[in-house]
Chain A
Amino acid sequence: EAQVTQNPRYLITVTGKKLTVTCSQNMNHEYMSWYRQDPGLGLRQIYYSMNVEVTDKGDVPEGYKVSRKEKRNFPLILESPSPNQTSLYFCASSGLPTDTQYFGPGTRLTVL
């Protein structure tokens, strides 16, 4: 089944403790992207990747890192999480950057 998976689905952590949210797709898509969703602010793009080893900042990249070493994986790294990074995070992928994007199930992160 074609899908985008994210892990973990839920995470509660403390300020400053490094964490990684994984994202994987099995559709051989070149493009992948991370978003955060906050009440009243809608979906905002954090980082995106056009292909392996090619990443670009979205609208809200501060406090996040990404890597794209393999085509199927696009992990989101929070080196030192802070409470303002408490949010619902979505990963998405598409064949080309302007194609329909397929979203993962979301990761709800709480930073205390």
Chain B
Amino acid sequence: ILNVEQSPQSLHVQEGDSTNFTCSFPSSNFYALHWYRWETAKSPEALFVMTLNGDEKKKGRISATLNTKEGYSYLYIKGSQPEDSATYLCALNQGGKLIFGQGTELSVKP
């Protein structure tokens, strides 16, 4: 059974701090890597889809990088704000079959 690991499990930061989390996955049979943002009582919201080794994507203060050869992706949040508080999920996409990590729960204190 393939495993997608995310670390840390949870993170508490102060407003203005920059932070990053990791998603690790087996590098074989790679099609795409998804990042989602999931707020309590809402549905997961897509952040990025990454497919190529070396990919870097950015959306406002959030960016992500991908290394398919070593099997990891980093998500960075620059200058965290309280509204960034959420669970951040990554998912390995194997051509339609998705395996999610357990998520990193981010809490940003004002």
Chain A 20-65 residues near chain B, CB threshold 8 A: 31, 33, 35, 40-45, 48, 50, 56, 58-59
CB of B21 closer than 8 Å to a CB of A: no
Could you pull out 7 A-B pairs where Cβ atoms are within 8 angstroms? A48-B97, A97-B93, A99-B49, A100-B34, A102-B46, A103-B45, A106-B43
What is the distance, in angstroms, from B26's C-beta to the closest C-beta of chain A?
Answer: 15
Closest residue of chain B to A42 (Cβ to Cβ) is B102
CB of A104 closer than 8 Å to a CB of B: yes
Total count of chain A residues near the partner, CB < 8 A: 25
The reply to whether B98 and A58 form a contact with Cβ atoms under 8 Å apart is: yes
Encode B62-98 as 1/0 by CB contact (under 8 A) with A: 0000000000000000000000000001010101111
- Apart from A42-B100, A58-B97: 18 A-B pairs, beta carbons within 8 A: A33-B96, A42-B101, A43-B44, A43-B91, A45-B99, A48-B96, A56-B97, A59-B1, A59-B99, A90-B43, A90-B44, A97-B95, A99-B49, A100-B34, A100-B49, A101-B46, A101-B98, A105-B43
What is the distance, in angstroms, from B79's C-beta to the closest C-beta of chain A?
Answer: 25
Q: Give the distance in Å from the alpha carbon of A50 to the alpha carbon of B93 in the complex.
A: 13
Q: Give the distance in Å from the alpha carbon of A56 to the alpha carbon of B103 in the complex.
A: 25
Encode A90-110 as 1/0 by CB contact (under 8 A) with B: 100000011111111110000
